[in-house]
């Protein structure tokens, strides 16, 4: 279930972002009107020699002094130790080795973290210059000379990295443990830890703190009403995390990777503050990744209520997270435990919806009625014909629509079909996808 993860660590300007972009490519998926986490390129999926993995760029803080550089790099290394299976420590040939590089190399070694040393900006190819050999002093084994801008040596670098990651992390085997993986995500202080503690306080924890093979992020499994659940990435929640949650970039990163590794995503929102930009980023990512989602409005105990308060809040959330109107909202208090039991009913419910399989016959009955009610669009005298529709996969439900001419299919008509399908089958809490195919 968990994907292999690689982090790039290094001083400002050594070329981390350039390498990141080289590896993930320039593909940027922009899915209708969801907030653009994919444009904020700190955490993205990549592929090399048929293996998929997640890549983290730990950079992004702009330090002014040498002291700050070291502090920033230590934070990066902590994130890498917590998040990644292998680290690329990046330096560059122009600036040579610095004390900060040595400090961070020592940190990574002490943590036993598999690390590959990359020396960037060796643009000429061929034999590396003499200065290159200085990098052996870090004690990280053979450095790899690369040029991120020209793409030189990047393949060799990734080969080295992959050699240090257990092969099974590249296999996309479904989690067959029968455990439902739940991610509790949201911004700092929304009440995630309190919610996790509230949940675990009541239940018998069966496997606690199962650490990943080479990283510190931990999941916690427990049993409730005869079912097994796993709370994803509870490391920083049960006790304070090592990395300062206050650094927004990193608290987002933590939530995004939890989303990647879950079946159901509980987005915890602070009722006092409403939906923040960070909340929409996380929600947008869950949407793009096709996850089942629930919006849990927390600290509801603190809100002064009259008969309309919840309704008004619902409308506000719908407005802010308009791309996710399918997600149920639940109003909870992690502190008092109010509706936390109900939250579990919802978790199971949205998971079922996300896994729903609809028979082709039933789907086409809906399609027939839908096209009768509202004709498919036409352009220059040619009308879209929809022959039939079938569900190709689940999690999220994905429908293949066979048509006479793809160009004639409008986004708005797909929206309409989606609504018709939802009207009949529900599909609450899950995004749905359409693939339009031509059949002559």
Contacts to ligand GDP by CB under 6 A: 10, 12-18, 59, 120-121, 123, 147-149, 186, 188-194, 237, 245, 298-299, 301-302, 333-335
Q: In this complex, which beta carbon is closest to ligand GDP, that of residue 261 or of residue 333?
A: 333
- In the chain, what is the straight-line distance between the N-terminal and C-terminal CA atoms, in Å? 39
Q: Cβ(115)–Cβ(105) under 8 Å? A: yes
Q: Minimum CB separation from ligand GDP for residue 147, in Å?
A: 4
Does the annotation list 192 as a binding residue? yes
Q: Minimum CB separation from ligand GDP for residue 267, in Å?
A: 11
360-373 and 411-425 helices, crossing angle to 10°: 120
Find tokens 């996850």 and name the residue.
291
Q: In this complex, which beta carbon is closest to ligand GDP, that of residue 154 or of residue 389?
A: 154
Does the annotation list 11 as a binding residue? yes
Does the annotation list 212 as a binding residue? no
Q: Minimum CB separation from ligand GDP for residue 70, in Å?
A: 15
Cα–Cα distance, 370 to 392 (Å, whole number) = 20
Q: In this complex, which beta carbon is closest to ligand GDP, that of residue 57 or of residue 428?
A: 57
Does the annotation list 126 as a binding residue? no
Find tokens 């400090």 and name the residue.
103
Q: In this complex, which beta carbon is closest to ligand GDP, that of residue 249 or of residue 433?
A: 249
Angle value at C-alpha 203, between 197 and 208, nearest 5 degrees:
70
Beta strands 433-438; 398-403: pairing state: parallel
Q: Minimum CB separation from ligand GDP for residue 7, in Å?
A: 13
Cα–Cα distance, 287 to 31 (Å, whole number) = 9
Does the annotation list 193 as a binding residue? yes
Does the annotation list 13 as a binding residue? yes
Q: In this complex, which beta carbon is closest to ligand GDP, that of residue 62 or of residue 172?
A: 62
Burial, 45: exposed, middle or buried (Cβ in 10 Å; 0-12, 13-18, 19+)? middle
Q: Is the dihedral of CA 57, 84, 283, 48 positive or negative?
A: positive
Q: Minimum CB separation from ligand GDP for residue 235, in Å?
A: 12
**Residue 110: how many CB atoms within 10 A of its CB?**
10
Does the annotation list 186 as a binding residue? yes
Q: In this complex, which beta carbon is closest to ligand GDP, that of residue 239 or of residue 440?
A: 239
> 166: which 2 tokens?
């257990």
Q: Minimum CB separation from ligand GDP for residue 317, in Å?
A: 17
Give the alpha-carbon dihedral of 109, 24, 157, 4, to 10 degrees. 50
Does the annotation list 404 as a binding residue? no
Helix (H/G/I), strand (E/B), else coil: 38: coil
Please enumerate, by residue number, every residue annotated as part of a binding site: 10-17, 57-61, 120-123, 186-193, 233-237, 298-301
Please enumerate, by residue number, every residue annotated as part of a binding site for GTP: 10-17, 57-61, 120-123, 186-193, 233-237, 298-301
């Amino acid at each position: 279930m968990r994907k292999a993860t690689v982090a790039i660590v290094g001083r400002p300007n050594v070329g981390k972002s350039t390498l990141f972009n080289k590896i993930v490519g320039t593909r940027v998926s922009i899915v209708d009107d969801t907030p653009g986490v994919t444009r904020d390129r700190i955490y993205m999926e990549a592929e090399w020699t048929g293996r998929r993995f997640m890549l983290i760029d730990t950079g992004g803080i702009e330090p002014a002094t040498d002291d700050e550089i070291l502090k920033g790099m230590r934070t990066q290394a902590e994130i890498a130790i917590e998040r990644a299976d292998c680290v690329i420590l990046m330096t560059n040939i122009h600036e040579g080795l610095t004390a900060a590089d040595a400090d961070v190399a020592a940190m990574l070694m002490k943590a036993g973290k598999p690390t590959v040393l990359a020396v960037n900006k060796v643009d000429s190819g061929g034999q590396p210059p003499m200065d290159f050999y200085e990098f052996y002093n870090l004690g990280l084994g053979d450095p790899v000379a690369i040029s991120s801008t020209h793409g030189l040596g990047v393949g060799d670098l990734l080969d080295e990295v992959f050699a240090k990651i257990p092969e099974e992390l590249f296999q996309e085997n479904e989690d067959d443990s029968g455990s439902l993986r739940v991610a509790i995500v949201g911004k700092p202080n929304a009440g995630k830890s309190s919610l996790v503690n509230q949940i675990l306080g009541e239940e018998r924890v069966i496997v606690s703190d199962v650490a990943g093979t080479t990283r510190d992020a931990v999941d916690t499994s427990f049993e409730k009403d005869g079912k097994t659940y796993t709370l994803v990435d509870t490391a920083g929640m049960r006790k304070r995390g090592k990395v300062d949650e206050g650094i927004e970039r990193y608290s987002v990163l933590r939530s995004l990777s939890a989303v990647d590794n879950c079946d159901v995503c509980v987005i915890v929102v602070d009722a006092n503050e409403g939906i923040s930009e960070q909340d929409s980023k996380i929600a947008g990512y869950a949407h793009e990744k096709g996850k089942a989602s629930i919006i849990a409005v927390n600290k509801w105990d603190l809100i002064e209520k009259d008969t309309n308060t919840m309704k008004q809040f619902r409308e506000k959330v719908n407005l802010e997270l308009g791309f996710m109107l399918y997600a149920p909202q639940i109003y909870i208090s992690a502190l008092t435990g109010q509706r936390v039991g109900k939250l579990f009913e919802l978790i199971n419910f949205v998971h079922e919806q996300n896994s729903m399989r609809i028979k082709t016959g039933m789907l086409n009955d809906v399609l027939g009625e839908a096209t009768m009610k509202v004709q498919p669009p036409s352009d220059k005298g040619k009308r879209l014909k929809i022959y039939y529709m079938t569900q190709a996969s689940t999690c999220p439900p994905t429908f293949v629509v066979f048509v006479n001419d793809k160009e004639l299919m409008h986004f708005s008509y797909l929206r309409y079909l989606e609504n018709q399908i939802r009207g009949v089958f529900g599909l609450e809490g899950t995004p749905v996808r359409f693939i339009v195919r031509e059949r002559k």
